[in-house]
Each structure stands twice: as C-alpha cells, then as structure tokens.
Structure 1
C-alpha cells in the first residue's frame, strides 16, 4: 500500500560503520550516508521512507531497529541483499574519518515516488555503484515531475574509482536535482585546486535552485538565483565527524519542507527563495551538524534538541 501522507523518499545505502579510533579501540554504529539523512528527517519528525539494500542478518536487524526507533520506514524489498554492507572508518587524531567498504547496492523493483512524495533524496555510494546506480538515476528522472530532487555526491574515492569516472555519474544527477549539498573535500577530489564556491556556481547554472558547499567547522556557503549566503558553524568539541554532512542534508530538507518549498509544484517557489530565508535554513543546518559532531557516530539530533539551540 503506497504511503498517502506527505513524505520524503530516501534512496540509498544503509550499512554498519565500524569505527577504529587512534587508540586502537573499535566501535560499531549503524550508518550509511542516505540512511543518516533519513534518520535525521525521522528524528526531526518528518515522515520518511528509505529504499535500502539490507541483508537478513544480525547487522540488518541492527539497522532495522535503529531506523524504526527514529520513525523511518523501509520500503518493500529493502531486505534483499545477501549480506548487510559494512564501512570501516579509521579516525585520525582530529576525529576525521577515512573509509574502506564491503558493500553491495541495488534498488528493489517497483521502488518509485508517489503523488505524496514531496522530495526524493539520494547520494553517495548508491548514486555511483552498480548495479543500482542506473536504477537510482532512472528513479530520480521519473520522480522530477512530482517531487523535489535533493542530492549529495558524498564521494567515497575508494569505491568510486577515478574522479573522472565518478563525475560521469555525479554531474547528470546534479543537473537533475533541485538542491545539491557537497563538501569542500568532495569538490577537491572531483575538481582539484578549484574554488569550491566557483564549482557551486557552475553546478547551479546547470539547473539546481540551491547548491550548498559545506566547509566543516568553517560553516557553509549556498548559491541560489537570489545570490549567495555564508553561515558560520558553532564552535564545539569534536568527538568525530561521522554523519555530520548527512545531518546537515537532512536538516536542509526539513527546513525547506517547513517553508512549504518541497514538491514538483513548488519548484518555482524554491527557485525564488530569498537570502534571508535561506540563511535561516542554513543556520539550523550547521547547528544540527554541530550536535552530531559532538558525539560518537552518526547520531543526529531530535527536534527537541535542535529547538533548544
């Protein structure tokens, strides 16, 4: 039975993050970039569906419980993997993570946006890794008429091959999207030595209403038809950066939803967003991300926590 109430459909990987710390200790946390975005939206009180690719194993059970606890609903067929994927993150002394993966990805047949799907979000591994990447691209194009499309390239070089190969997948999705969020680190990999904001301007000229570049602890810059806006990030003690960008992305979708800017019929209104409104949205995004980096793993805030910031 299709979900008839307004919701966001997130399409992409849910996996186990195995985090190895500088002191040699190891923790396991549920994660995956799109799953973290779905989790953020669920914790902010938004109805969210996640089309994932989980195994019917212990790791899959962990992920199902984690998602359900935050109100995220898995779409039919999301349990069709032979085994649940694992990402191994090694943290340096500053808490920044580098990754390697044991991952498979595909989209269950029949996964699609409906009339009640206000937005479709995808990104990271799911938008690049075969065999599911083609299905993701087709789903996004089919959903554009009725849904806002949001996208975060969230590059994983160890899985995505060369930057040139990744760009062949990433740039068509940028052009199809209404909202793009990208980190300065991703831009440096994709376009070495290029000013990230200049890349954002180039991408915005190809179709998106909003392109946001995040700069970690230095905040974010957004490009839209009304101009550009920059916000600073709150100063916090960083435990690790796992899930911070995904929290920002989820809060961005939530902020646009709050302003009635999601849905295919709101595309022109989204393009007309003013800089003051966009700045307010981004201020909340950096506040949400700051909460996530202040604690271990991908652990985004719930709405009540964010309301107190």
Structure 2
C-alpha cells in the first residue's frame, strides 16, 4: 500500500438508533455513510480525515470518541444539533431509515479546503451531496480536488430526506462526472433511473467520466466495470447479523484495494484507467469480503487490515475470509 497516501472524506456523521424487532433493546451506534467509510478506510490502513458536522452535545461526544478511537482526524463545522437516523430492522436484518439531519460545513469551510488540498484521494457521497446548504460546499471541494487527487463518490440515496428524484438525479450526475471511482447499490440506481436496469445505468455513468464504476447487489454480489473490463462475482456467504454499513465497508475496501495497487492520487490516475481483469477481480473480491465481514456482525463495524489481509494476486481466488471466526 502507498502509506504516504492520505484520504479526506467529506460528509455527514450521525447517530444510528437501531430498533430490532428481534430484540427488546434499542441500540445506538455512530453512523452516516461518509463516517462509516472514513472509519473503514482508517481501519484498512489509510490516513484518513473526515470533514463533517456534529455538535458539542451528547450524540456529538459519542461520534467524537468513535472517530478518535479509530484514528480518524476530524474537521467539523455547522451549528445545528448532531443528526440522528432511526434504523428499523426487518426479519432479514435489512434496515429502513427515518432521519433528523442537517448538513452544513459553515465555519469549517477554510479548514476543510486545506484538508482536501493535502489529500491524495477525496471521497464523498450520500446526504452531503444533495442536502442544502452543505451540498454546494461539497461539490466545490470535490471539483477543486481533481487537480491533485483522485475522487470517489457513493450516492447512497436517501429518498426519505431528498424525495424529489428529478432534482436529485442531475446533482448526482454532477458528482459522478467529477469522480474517478463511483459505487452505487441496485436500490440507488432503480430509484434514480426507473426506466433502466441498474447495469444500464452504471454503463451510462461510465460515459460521464469515471474510470471505475461499481454496483452492489446485496446477496447477488458486486459488478465492477471499466471501459475495458467487467468483473462480476457472488457475495461471500455469511450468517447476516444485519446489513448496516455493508455498502460503506465495500466502498472503504474498494479504496484500500486501489491504494494498494498504486492507483489513487493524481499520479495513479493513468494506472486506474488501465486496470487488468485480474487486478479488478482482486479489487472486487477485497471489497466484497469487507462488506461480508460487516454483515456478519451488528452495526456498522468494518473490518481491519489484519482481518482482510493484504491484496495480492491470490485474493480474488480465496474461498473465504476471517471475521471473528469463520465466514
């Protein structure tokens, strides 16, 4: 891995309040897609800064403790209370959400811009890309970063927060066009493009400019495309505790694997655009395994580098991964 590479993640941090009908207890966990990606990236060995918002309140203190304990540096702005998301789990462990959330970098704008300028890779997505007033700051930071950094994006759409797909779609496409790497779920793409299959939507995104686009499909496993190569594989078989944070762990795994190949940062962009099928297969398997480990335990609890091991020429052929026992 390129140990000199630093990553800046831009986006929301919030507290997940999890209601599980299989349990009499309500659980609380730090959450928000960008926060989960930042923690996942840090656990996989990338030097990571999260540009975010939370308040100096009880929920904010829990977020601060979680980020610091995972070696994530924090730049925070805004003045609203810390955001929350109530996740209700179905019988299969899948989560549906309701939100009380705000997104505003506000007084942290200058410091955020400095952090992004010092990063080799910048990631953003989800609520931070569509919720005013902070979405404009997010797009400005990402647009400026391309000169010196690679950029990744995960729309992680939340119709409960931004329900007007006709307004959301063009903004999402602006971020796709500004990115080198894009990941989306089949649910994201079916909501954004109901008249296309998810794969058709993914292929259309390649035409907007990214070098790598990835589709996650739950138990059906991921598909990753470049202009030259397509890789598809089944999900790793696990006993699912829940799916909270699985897509974010996939994104962090994707970033870590690409960093290990030396394809992140402006100097890696040329190699990113010419990945071989074997390289892309290894990247897909690495990210797939990261998501599987997260599904095997409660909450957004991504794996460490020790759990996944290094990306190497055999990774795409490994039948299983370790995660607190057997997966």
The partner residue of 2:163 within 158, 161, 164 is: 161
Query: Normalization by structure 1: what TM-score?
Result: 0.95
User: Which piece of structure 1 moves more, 135-144 or 114-123?
Assistant: 114-123
CA contact (8 A) 2:38 2:48 kept: yes
Q: How does 1:169-180 map to 2 (within 5 A)?
A: 169-180=171-182
Shift of 1:80: 3.7
User: Which piece of structure 1 moves more, 49-58 or 101-110?
Assistant: 101-110
Shift of 1:168: 2.0
Q: d(CA) in 1 for partners of 2:116 and 2:67? A: 21
CA contact (8 A) 1:7 1:46 kept: yes
Who is 1:95 aligned against? 93
Q: How does 1:64-103 map to 2 (within 5 A)?
A: 64-75=64-75, 78=76, 80-103=78-101
Cα RMSD after superposing both structures: 1.5
CA contact (8 A) 2:149 2:264 kept: yes
Q: How does 1:8-157 map to 2 (within 5 A)?
A: 8-23=7-22, 25-75=25-75, 78=76, 80-107=78-105, 108-110=108-110, 111-112=112-113, 113-114=115-116, 116-157=118-159
CA contact (8 A) 1:234 1:286 kept: yes
Q: Deviations over 1:214-258 (max 9, x none)?
A: 011111001102221112211001111100000000010111111
CA contact (8 A) 1:56 1:82 kept: no
Shift of 1:193: 4.6
User: Which piece of structure 1 moves more, 254-263 or 105-114?
Assistant: 105-114
CA contact (8 A) 2:7 2:48 kept: yes
User: Which piece of structure 1 moves more, 190-199 or 154-163?
Assistant: 190-199
Q: Which runs of 5+ in 1 are unaligned?
A: none
Shift of 1:266: 2.0
CA contact (8 A) 2:235 2:288 kept: yes
Q: d(CA) in 2 for partners of 1:84 and 1:277? A: 40
DSSP-derived class of the 2:73 partner: strand
Q: d(CA) in 1 for partners of 2:77 and 2:62? A: 13
Q: d(CA) in 2 for partners of 1:157 and 1:187? A: 12
Identify if the C-alpha distance between structure 1 residues 55 and 114 changes in structure 2 by more than 3 Å, giving closer, same or farther: closer
Moved over 3 A (4+): 113-116
Who is 1:226 aligned against? 228
The partner residue of 2:198 within 192, 196, 199 is: 196
User: Which piece of structure 1 moves more, 31-40 or 108-117?
Assistant: 108-117
CA contact (8 A) 1:222 1:230 kept: yes
DSSP-derived class of the 2:224 partner: strand
Who is 1:305 aligned against? 307
Q: d(CA) in 2 for partners of 1:191 and 1:115? A: 34
Q: Which runs of 5+ in 2 are unaligned?
A: 310-320, 323-327
CA contact (8 A) 1:6 1:116 kept: no
Shift of 1:275: 1.4
DSSP-derived class of the 1:237 partner: coil
Report the count of equivalent residues.
Answer: 304
CA contact (8 A) 2:8 2:116 kept: no
Shift of 1:205: 1.1
Shift of 1:109: 1.4
Q: d(CA) in 1 for partners of 2:57 and 2:252? A: 27
